[in-house]
Structure 1
Amino acid sequence: MFISEPAVDILLRGSLLTLFGMTWVVMLVRINGLRSFSKMTNFDFVMTVAVGSLLANTSQATSWESFFQSIIALASLFLVQYGAAKIRKSSDRVEALMQNQPILLMHEGEILYPALEKTRVAESDLYAKLREANVLDEKEVRAVVLETTGDISVLHGKACSTTILRGTKKVG
């Protein structure tokens, strides 16, 4: 792609195409905003994985056609994500289709076993999250929520506002 000496061409291709690809991704993120790599929805997770895969493709391209195809695919991916975020913001129906609902795993000190079963979260993992959040007494836990991102939030203390739990689903 760059020069006729194979060993040097491989070094140049790997280095320069990676530099070009990374610069392109940084430019796309600057245009699209930091939301590009957030972890708010399943769509965001897929976006992050796809960008990584396409960036790897740009770095390993063996022809200019495959390099530019990856560059165009990256731009298209950012455009699709931008459009999806706009549509999600303007339509509750699309929002519901694209995003999971947070699920309560524990409420007011009580473990919600049907929720653990439905979400396939082991009780031992729940207790690990409680310890990680420095919970000293499960009776002080106001809520444990499996978020749309797959993260687990632990809310503990004397009280929890109902607005904090707005949008969460109680299973069982």
Structure 2
Amino acid sequence: MDWIYSNSDPLLQTLGGSILIFIAVIVLTRIIGLRSFAKFTAYDFAFTIAIGSIISSTLTSSTSIAHGSVAIGGLLVLTFIFSYLQRKFPWINKLISNKPLLLMKGDTILEENLKYARIDKSQLIAKLREANVLNYDQVRAVVLESTGDISVLHVSEGSSEDLNEKILEGVREKP
């Protein structure tokens, strides 16, 4: 029965710690900015996962709230510094970020790009269904974003709108 509940479980400490960590994350995010939890690059995603891990270990282990808050603050400051350096030095952005990759150009599936990105055609088609694409001729472009997300740019059935090429700025057509 101890695996469900034990009298020695620090439930009130965990609840109090949750409140304090929640406040610390809000304060730090307000200071550093919302960019802290954006998912623009792989490292942004890694930082978000790391912060979640720190919160978890702070609340469920002997790590103090102050120690956990400092660790979270340190990671958030690093994301702030990296985002500043990316804007100031474009080569850093190129070094740590993947450029988006075109998976479909119009109604044509770019098989070589799918292969390079290790995406199965069935996964691409599932994304088309999620975007409510009824026919390939509705598709203007499908892009594998630098975050790993797949964007489907399409028009409603019967519409003949053209895609503004600026939307695909920075997207690689070849791997």
How far residue 62 of structure 1 moved from its aligned partner, in angstroms, is 2.0
Which residue, 55, 73, 76 being the options, matches 1:75? 73
What residue identity is the alignment partner of 1:159? Answer: D
What residue identity is the alignment partner of 1:169? Answer: R
Percent identity between the aligned chains?
A: 38
* Segment drifting more, 80-89 vs 138-147: 138-147
The answer to whether residue 37 in structure 2 is matched with residue 40 in structure 1 is: no
Query: Unpaired segments of 5 or more residues in structure 1?
Result: 1-5
How far residue 69 of structure 1 moved from its aligned partner, in angstroms, is 2.5
Q: Counterpart in 1 of 2:165? A: 162
How far residue 139 of structure 1 moved from its aligned partner, in angstroms, is 2.0
Would the aligned equivalents of 1:22 and 1:55 in 2 still touch at CA under 8 Å? no
Q: How many residues align?
A: 165
1:99-138 equivalence runs, <5 A: 99-138=97-136
Moved over 6 A (4+): none
How far residue 72 of structure 1 moved from its aligned partner, in angstroms, is 1.3
* Segment drifting more, 12-21 vs 147-156: 12-21
Q: Counterpart in 2 of 1:87? A: 85
Distance 1:9 1:112, change over 3 A: closer
Would the aligned equivalents of 2:57 and 2:63 in 1 still touch at CA under 8 Å? no
- TM norm structure 1: 0.89
SS at match of 1:57: helix
Distance 2:21 2:67 in 1: 12
How far residue 140 of structure 1 moved from its aligned partner, in angstroms, is 2.6
Distance 2:34 2:18 in 1: 21
Query: Unpaired segments of 5 or more residues in structure 2?
Result: 1-5, 156-160
The answer to whether residue 31 in structure 2 is matched with residue 28 in structure 1 is: no
- TM norm structure 2: 0.87
RMSD: 1.7
Distance 2:75 2:43 in 1: 11
Which residue, 138, 141, 151 being the options, matches 2:139? 141
Would the aligned equivalents of 2:99 and 2:170 in 1 still touch at CA under 8 Å? yes
The answer to whether residue 52 in structure 2 is matched with residue 49 in structure 1 is: no
Distance 2:9 2:62 in 1: 10
